[in-house]
Amino acid sequence: MLYGRLDALRDNARRNLAEVMRERGGTPQAQSERESYNAMYTAKLAKYLAAENGLCFGRIDLGEGEGEARYVGRLGMWDEDSDFDPLLLDWRAPMARPFYLATPASPEGVTRRRHIRTRGRTVTALNDEYLDPEALSDVSGTNGSATTSRGDEGGVASENALLAAMSAARTGHMVDIVATIQREQDEIIRSEHRSVLVVQGGPGTGKTAVALHRAAFLLYTYREQLERSGVLIIGPNDTFLKYISQVLPSLGETGVVLSTVGDLYPGVTASGHDSLESSAIKGSLDMVTVLKNAVRDRQELPSSPVEIEFDTYTLTIDRKLITRARGRARSSRRPHNRARDIFFATAIEGLADQYAAIVGANLIDRQSLLSRDDIADVRDEMRQDPTFRTVIGSFWPHLTPQDVLSELFSSDDRLSRAAPDLSDAERAHLVRPRAAPFTPGDAPLLDELAELLGVDGDDDDRQAQARWRAKIEEAQEALDILTGSAPQDLEDDLDPEILMAYDLIDAEQLAERQEYRQSRTTAERAAADRQWTYGHAIIDEAQELSEMAWRMVMRRVPNRWMTVVGDPAQTGSPAGASSWDAALEPYVARRWKLTELSINYRTPSEIMAVAAGVLEQISPNAVPPKSIRESGHIPWARQIPHGELTSAVAEQVTAWLREQDAGTVAVIASERLAAQFAELNSDAVSVLVVREAKGLEFDSVLLVEPEELLAESPRGLNDIYVACTRATQRLGVLHAEELPKCLSFITD
């Protein structure tokens, strides 16, 4: 009865409250609450829409005869009528792990492993692996295939399912590998290492897929911790993020932040483009000193004395007064904006003393000298005077990172003062118009400036407190409405056993509940907050991060729990890391762990033979990953007259698209040529420069004029290596110039 009575009162009060809000024209909170509920149910629905990918993809039989059978899938499901016995094991659950680890040499209690392939809700194939070879003699049926698993511990289990997945045409989105995770991948995905885990591997070894499945595993295993703090995934470009965007949702996980380094600074979109030279300069740690100098350069001294009127007297703001104020503010070691109060207070103190001295010198009666209280009043009056605030503030202005960086790069004088150690040629690479858009290389600089300026913190805290006070006031108003909605005959003589809303909750508690309901998701809040600290971060193509980019990333993951994915042989950026030691040891010393993937699941052996020749010239001691399949397509190279290159590219793309199961095609070329071929872009065709192709894969790749790629970048060999290894089926090379030495053995 108690809850029924309160529910009735609550419903009545809601109606009254709704009427009040309608009279007021509505409230943003009501809309926010509806959006919050919609988002919650949409997220739940999205998890089960993964059934279109096949919720169940495997089964393991344990024991002999009528042994236990466990079904394995993307999500867990339980039988509510049987004490919540598992109908379907989440692939991340410990009980599901034998599905990935069992081999004949170490069967993990498994007698049979079944792979189930589906299309929509239809089962299209069953593949059974008997870990006991003798059991094959008892197998019969036409609904699938039965095989024995390979006997080596490190071998590839479930070859039929794996090769079918690897040979399938690409769709423009990465698909999950949850049904075909291999032993070496599984060990990395479930690693318990709690510092930086480096996943290194050549092209096609599944580094990205492993990292994404590791994110899903960690969100499952450490749900409470990571749901509060979030997981950050950093990729090399927007195309890559779009490419991987469906993997985690297909595994039932959506609470992650996907970003490039260029978009990691909230409120700034890096739409500009850096030259190779400017990328190298901006990525260097030398920029820390340059930015410090740029901020100090804005803490100016008056070029000549400035006179200001106060109470009929003329006061003077000169270099001595501002130098003293500046020195005290700097010695506080506070960020620029937070030291501004000290600067202003010191300057006001000097002017008040100056005023007292002038007044004292003009007094005949020495007994009328200003007291301490009088001088304090003078200081207060000066602080409130807008003229004083404007004039004094001009020598130590409130700054934003965007303003400082834009003015620095648009002013030869400021850049020369801030970067005296750079040559004239180096500074020329940084100069640009003030209105120019920010570039990916600017984001770490803006982040560094935010630290130097102190743009977060005190002001944000005051605003947050003001918002919180407003929420409490609104909650109290809601409680007042609830109280007013009680039946009138109870107001004068309330039954003491009947509890009203205000007996159970006060305004602050109600505000907290509303804040919880209406708050954005963790991912949304994290993406908008520069000071947000993530519980875990996945960094793909990490070899491309500059020294300055690493500083920015490390600020967002202070616990240093990260999965770093990359391959130094594929480094294209001149600001990229030369080794993992150089990138990580300044932050985690030797607390990082290197793991390696050695099997190439994507690139067929015919193409990998070409890529191995390129790799040998990059690093003679490097060992290329071992391909596990052949495509039947031999890579070719064809020389075309200069005037026919454009038409030859279009003809080749058209020819590939006409083939059965053509899938996707990529044309990879230099900046100059990619612009010429841009009209070929379509749903099935992508025209890309190498940096845009990072981490992606296509059925067919057409590499155009590789000699121009070599000349375009100091790491041109690395770029050709990346370009060659994007293909899962076919690789062709069209060129007008001579083939570079690294590809000279390819023939038509």
CA neighbor of 47 nearest in space, from 226, 257, 255: 255
Q: What is the pTM of this model?
A: 0.79
C-beta of residue 560 within 8 angstroms of C-beta of residue 195? yes
User: Of the given ranges (50-59, 142-151, 388-397), which has the lowest mean pLDDT?
Assistant: 142-151
CA 195, CA 273: separation in Å to the nearest integer?
A: 33
> In whole angstroms, what separates CA 671 from the centre of its chain?
26
If one counts every other C-beta atom within 10 angstroms of the C-beta of residue 84, the result is 9
Q: Give the type of residue at 676.
A: Q
Distances in Å between the Cα of 162 and the Cα atoms of 89, 115, 194 are 21, 10, 30
Residue 128 has pLDDT above 90, yes or no: no
Distances in Å between the Cα of 81 and the Cα atoms of 84, 86, 87, 198 are 7, 11, 11, 44
Predicted local confidence at residue 388, as pLDDT: 93
Predicted local confidence at residue 9, as pLDDT: 36
CA 204, CA 325: separation in Å to the nearest integer?
A: 60
Alpha-helix residue ranges (DSSP H) falling in 542-670: 547-556, 580-588, 605-618, 645-658
User: Of the given ranges (55-59, 80-84, 401-405, 633-637), which has the lowest mean pLDDT?
Assistant: 80-84
Three-state DSSP class for residue 428: helix
If one counts every other C-beta atom within 10 angstroms of the C-beta of residue 143, the result is 8
Categorize the per-residue pLDDT at 165 as very low, low, confident or very high, splitting at 50, 70 and 90.
Answer: low
Predicted local confidence at residue 141, as pLDDT: 44
If one counts every other C-beta atom within 10 angstroms of the C-beta of residue 724, the result is 28
Percent of the chain with pLDDT over 90: 52
Percent of the chain with pLDDT over 70: 77
If one counts every other C-beta atom within 10 angstroms of the C-beta of residue 35, the result is 12
pLDDT tens profile 4-24: 333 333 444 444 444 544 554
Average pLDDT over residues 389-408: 95
C-beta of residue 570 within 8 angstroms of C-beta of residue 542? no
Sign of CA dihedral 586, 587, 589, 591: negative
DSSP letter for each residue of 25-71: T--HHHHHHHHHHHHHHHHHHHHHHGGGG-SEEEEEEESSSS-EEEE
CA neighbor of 440 nearest in space, from 261, 575, 275, 284: 261
CA 544, CA 713: separation in Å to the nearest integer?
A: 14
Paired with 730 in beta bridges are: 700
Beta-carbon contacts of 198 under 8 Å, excluding residues fewer than 6 positions away, are 542, 564, 565, 566, 580, 584, 592, 593, 594, 595
274 φ/ψ angles, rounded to the nearest 5 degrees: -90, 145
Distances in Å between the Cα of 564 and the Cα atoms of 195, 410, 448, 583 are 10, 35, 22, 11
> In whole angstroms, what separates CA 581 from the centre of its chain?
23
DSSP category for residue 397: -
Pick the residue with more confidence: 643 or 282? 282
C-beta of residue 230 within 8 angstroms of C-beta of residue 257? yes
Mean pLDDT of the chain: 83
Q: Give the type of residue at 126.
A: L
Strand stretches in 211-250, DSSP E? 231-235
CA 323, CA 317: separation in Å to the nearest integer?
A: 10
Beta-carbon contacts of 594 under 8 Å, excluding residues fewer than 6 positions away, are 198, 200, 580
Predicted local confidence at residue 658, as pLDDT: 92
* Cα radius of gyration (the chain): 33
Sign of CA dihedral 505, 506, 510, 513: negative
**Can you read off the two tokens belonging to residue 148?**
């024995």
3-class DSSP string for 512-554: HHHHHHHCCCHHHHHHHCCCCCCCEEEECCHHHCCHHHHHHHH
CA neighbor of 6 nearest in space, from 502, 350, 338, 337: 502
622 φ/ψ angles, rounded to the nearest 5 degrees: -70, 145
Average pLDDT over residues 92-99: 91
**Can you read off the two tokens belonging to residue 297?**
């350069």
Predicted local confidence at residue 181, as pLDDT: 86
Predicted local confidence at residue 104, as pLDDT: 82
Average pLDDT over residues 564-582: 90
String of b and e for 697-708 (b: at least 16 CB within 10 Å)?
bbbbbbbbbbbb
pLDDT tens profile 214-253: 999 999 999 988 988 999 999 999 989 998 988 888 887 8
pLDDT tens profile 294-323: 999 999 999 999 999 998 889 999 999 999
CA 36, CA 536: separation in Å to the nearest integer?
A: 25
Beta-carbon contacts of 167 under 8 Å, excluding residues fewer than 6 positions away, are 629, 631, 728
CA 218, CA 101: separation in Å to the nearest integer?
A: 19
pLDDT tens profile 22-35: 554 555 455 555 55
CA 688, CA 678: separation in Å to the nearest integer?
A: 9
pLDDT tens profile 492-514: 454 555 545 445 556 666 665 55
Residue 40 has pLDDT above 50, yes or no: yes
Angle 443-453/276-283 helices, nearest 10 degrees?
30
Paired with 119 in beta bridges are: 122
Categorize the per-residue pLDDT at 143 as very low, low, confident or very high, splitting at 50, 70 and 90.
Answer: very low
> In whole angstroms, what separates CA 582 from the centre of its chain?
22
String of b and e for 87-113 (b: at least 16 CB within 10 Å)?
ebbbbbeeebbbbbbbbbeebeebbbb
Predicted local confidence at residue 136, as pLDDT: 53
Task: Report the chain's terminal Cα–Cα distance, integer Å.
Answer: 86
DSSP category for residue 190: T
Q: Is residue 181 packed enough to be buried (19+ CB in 10 Å), middle (13-18) or exposed (0-12)?
A: buried
